[in-house]
Amino acid sequence: MYIRTMNLSELIQTASGIDHVAIAVKSIDASLPLYLALGGIGGEREVVAEQGVFVQTLSFAGSRIELLEPIDDNSPVGKFLNRRGEGLHHIAILVPDIRASLAKANEAGFKPLNSEPRLGAEGRLIAFLDPKTTGGVLIELTQAGATRARL
């Protein structure tokens, strides 16, 4: 059983801020026009095979949204869509040191879904916290400047 010795806001205060909000969609092609109409500037689409998703990143005046389309129904995002439908998938918090932040989160009672960081979009290192311990919201920790070479 996890016992929190700090709350999530205290953990986030040690971070650099929100990196992006990720939205699970059935089809990036079908969803993209809405976000472009809202003022988003589309970047390149990418395949993150390790996570089983296509990722389309959009910039909004300093903020970012990622549209996540599953490669197949058995990927984590595919299972999410089958259970809950399209919508908010996770909020990503930018941290300076993902391993230290993951350990700190674990010590604070926020159960990691990943014991070690994994590769995410843009080659960054990422790790998720169990939404059962974060008020029902899937939280991703992501390290700025982390690349595939640092895994």
Q: Report the CATH number at residue 107.
A: 3.10.180.10
DSSP letter at 112 equals B
Give domain status of residue 3, yes or no: no
pLDDT of residue 66: 96
For the cut 60, the answer to whether the pLDDT of residue 149 exceeds it is: no
Cα torsion for 107, 12, 101, 124, to the nearest 10°? 150
Structural domains of the chain, count = 1
Give domain status of residue 97, yes or no: yes
Length of the chain (residues): 151
CA dist., res. 118 & res. 50, Å (int): 8
Nearest to 28 by CA among 49, 62, 57, 60: 57
Full residue range of the structural domain in which residue 119 is found: 8-150
Give domain status of residue 1, yes or no: no
Helix and strand element counts for the chain (H, E): 4, 8
Give domain status of residue 68, yes or no: yes
Question: What's the pLDDT tens digit per position in 47-69?
Answer: 999 999 999 999 998 899 999 99
Give domain status of residue 60, yes or no: yes
Give domain status of residue 108, yes or no: yes
pTM for this predicted structure: 0.84
Give domain status of residue 2, yes or no: no
